[in-house]
């Protein structure tokens, strides 16, 4: 059986796109964003990133209508490029989604440790000078196991978790943002940029925006699971709406945090967003509200990226790009259960690396996502039906090339470091090994 269950509705797709994009980064690494760009620099970078990604969102929307395939980038590039390019694109996009999963599994331990200091005990070992605590490890692995089970049992269950979590996060964010807007000062935005000045501040944040904006293009990965009432055009609209709402969310949360507290006093603080509100209100309830929002948000981004990564692996297995067992569908639940198990195991392995990998994961994930966007825009540039659509695809190609330059050019501040190259090379080597294994099995069969 290779047919997935068709049970997703229109709102489920928005929840998948927005939910895969907005996690707990706005709480866990807010100090990093402010340190890179200052409040205005970070806001401009996320707003600019959202605008620059609109052509890419449009391209994905057109492609999901033209090629309704769970492989998404794999199928799009497979129409016009050699098979090796199709595999490379799919493997990079799998990395973009997959790295989010251990990120969130690690972050849940850090959140729990903020609320319950007893969680920050019994260190087992350290990675890059940061201890890995046993309670953090157990919590991250437990969450991974639960989400793996949910995704094996059926897409309807997974989508329900995603939709309810998305709605709850939006409501809770409006509540604590409204309280923040009522107590703060515009003087806290000063200075508006980090030490490097306006241009460097914006560029340093813009480099990691693709990682935190990755998610809108997860929607096409579930196109084969749409219910009869959710056509391809609904997915097109969901992509653009998710991208727009996600951009507004990031800009708004940075603005609220900087408004309620002097931003330079938040640098180096764990969970700077919660710290800002705690100092402004001197009350625990507002911190509890923010942490509740972050935990729910963490669950949905974990689940959304889990879904997207497993569907790409499923498509590669089904298409013979890797071991065909990845393309098998569970007879009862009609989910790509082998691909789901692989994502679960890979996430569990990543949890053992601890909090030291949070920022490097964002850097590598950003590059991987941009590679997938670039390949998809290039494919659409070839197959677009008219001049207007080719022009939009061309803009998408230029935007993604510019984002690649920001990460790879050694003269640009914040470019890829040696360890990030090592991580990327290791992922490429694993992909090559899986592809060769798949070829060998087909030859022997």
pLDDT-wise least confident of 58-67, 138-147, 228-237: 228-237
Q: Which residue has the higher pLDDT, 442 or 83?
A: 83
* Confidence label for 409 from pLDDT (cuts 50, 70 and 90): confident
pLDDT at position 118 is 85
Query: Going from the N-terminus, what domains does the chain have, and what CATH number goes with each?
Result: 10-434 (1.20.1740.10)
End-to-end CA distance of the chain: 19
Cα–Cα distance, 54 to 372 (Å, whole number): 15
pLDDT single digits (tens) 243-292: 999 999 999 999 999 999 999 999 988 889 999 999 888 888 888 888 88
Question: Average per-residue pLDDT in the chain?
Answer: 88
> What's the average model confidence in pLDDT over 16-31?
88
pLDDT at position 437 is 74
Cα–Cα distance, 225 to 4 (Å, whole number): 6
pLDDT at position 213 is 87
> What's the average model confidence in pLDDT over 122-135?
85
User: How open is the CA angle 335-343-208, to the nearest 5 degrees?
Assistant: 120
pTM attached to this predicted model = 0.89
pLDDT at position 357 is 67
User: How open is the CA angle 41-107-272, to the nearest 5 degrees?
Assistant: 40
Q: What are phi and psi of 229, to 5 degrees?
A: -85, -5
pLDDT single digits (tens) 143-192: 999 999 999 998 888 899 999 999 999 999 999 889 888 888 899 999 99
Token reading at 135: 């309670």
Token reading at 41: 């620099």
What pairing do the DSSP bridges indicate for beta strands 130-133 and 123-127? antiparallel
State the SS3 of 66-120: HCCCCCCHHHHHHCCCCHHHHHHHHHHHHHHHHCHHHHHHHHHHHHHHHHCHHHC
pLDDT at position 362 is 66
> What's the average model confidence in pLDDT over 414-434?
80
> What's the average model confidence in pLDDT over 212-220?
90
CA 368, chain centre distance (Å): 11
pLDDT at position 389 is 94
Percent of the chain with pLDDT over 70: 96
Q: How many CB atoms lie within 10 A of CB 121?
A: 12
pLDDT at position 358 is 62
The dihedral over CA atoms of 84, 225, 368, 14, expressed in degrees to the nearest 10, equals 150
Q: How many CB atoms lie within 10 A of CB 382?
A: 13
pLDDT single digits (tens) 336-375: 999 999 999 999 998 888 776 666 666 777 788 889 999 9
Going by C-alpha positions, the residue among 340, 381, 325, 30 that lies closest to residue 154 is 340
Cα–Cα distance, 132 to 136 (Å, whole number): 7
Percent of the chain with pLDDT over 90: 52
Q: Using an 8 Å Cβ cutoff, are 107 and 358 in contact?
A: yes
pLDDT single digits (tens) 381-392: 999 988 999 999
């Amino acid at each position: 059986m290779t047919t997935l269950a068709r049970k997703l509705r229109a709102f489920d797709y928005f929840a998948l796109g927005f939910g895969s994009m907005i996690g707990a980064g706005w709480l866990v690494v807010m100090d990093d964003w402010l340190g890179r760009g200052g409040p205005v620099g970070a806001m401009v970078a996320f707003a600019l990133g959202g605008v620059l990604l609109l052509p890419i969102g449009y391209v994905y929307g057109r492609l999901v209508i033209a090629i309704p395939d769970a492989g998404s980038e794999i199928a799009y590039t497979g129409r016009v490029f050699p098979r090796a390019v199709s595999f490379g694109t799919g493997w990079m996009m799998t990395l973009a989604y997959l790295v989010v999963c251990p990120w969130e599994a690690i972050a849940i331990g850090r959140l729990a440790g903020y609320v319950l200091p007893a969680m920050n005990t019994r260190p087992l070992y350290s990675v890059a000078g940061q201890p890995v605590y046993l309670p953090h490890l157990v919590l991250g692995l437990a969450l991974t196991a639960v989400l793996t089970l949910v995704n094996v049992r059926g897409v309807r269950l997974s989508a329900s978790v995603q939709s309810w979590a998305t709605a709850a996060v939006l409501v809770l964010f409006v509540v604590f943002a409204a309280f923040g807007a009522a107590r703060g000062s515009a003087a806290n935005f000063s200075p508006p940029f980090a030490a490097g000045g306006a241009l460097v501040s914006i560029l340093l944040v813009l480099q990691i925006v693709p990682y935190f904006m990755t998610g809108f293009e997860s929607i096409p990965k579930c196109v084969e699971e749409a219910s009869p009432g959710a056509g391809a055009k609904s997915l097109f609209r969901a992509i653009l709406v998710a991208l727009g709402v996600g951009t507004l969310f990031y800009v708004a949360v940075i603005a609220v945090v900087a408004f309620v507290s002097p931003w330079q006093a938040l640098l180096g603080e764990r969970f700077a967003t919660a710290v800002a509100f705690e100092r402004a209100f001197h009350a625990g309830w507002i911190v509890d509200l923010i942490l509740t929002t972050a935990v729910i948000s963490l669950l949905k981004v974990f689940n959304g990226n889990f879904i997207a990564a497993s569907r790409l692996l499923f498509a590669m297995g089904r298409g013979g790009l890797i071991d065909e067992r990845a393309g098998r569908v569970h007879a009862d639940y009609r989910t790509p259960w082998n691909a789901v198990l692989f994502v679960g195991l890979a996430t569990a392995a990543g949890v053992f690396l601890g909090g030291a990998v949070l920022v490097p994961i964002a850097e590598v994930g950003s590059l991987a996502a941009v590679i997938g966007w670039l390949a998809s825009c290039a494919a659409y540039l070839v197959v677009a039906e008219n001049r207007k659509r080719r022009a939009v695809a061309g803009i998408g190609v230029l935007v993604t090339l510019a984002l690649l330059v920001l990460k790879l050019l050694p003269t640009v501040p914040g470019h890829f470091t040696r360890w990030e190259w090592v991580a990327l090379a290791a992922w490429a080597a694993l992909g090559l090994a899986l592809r060769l294994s798949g070829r060998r099995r087909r030859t022997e069969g």
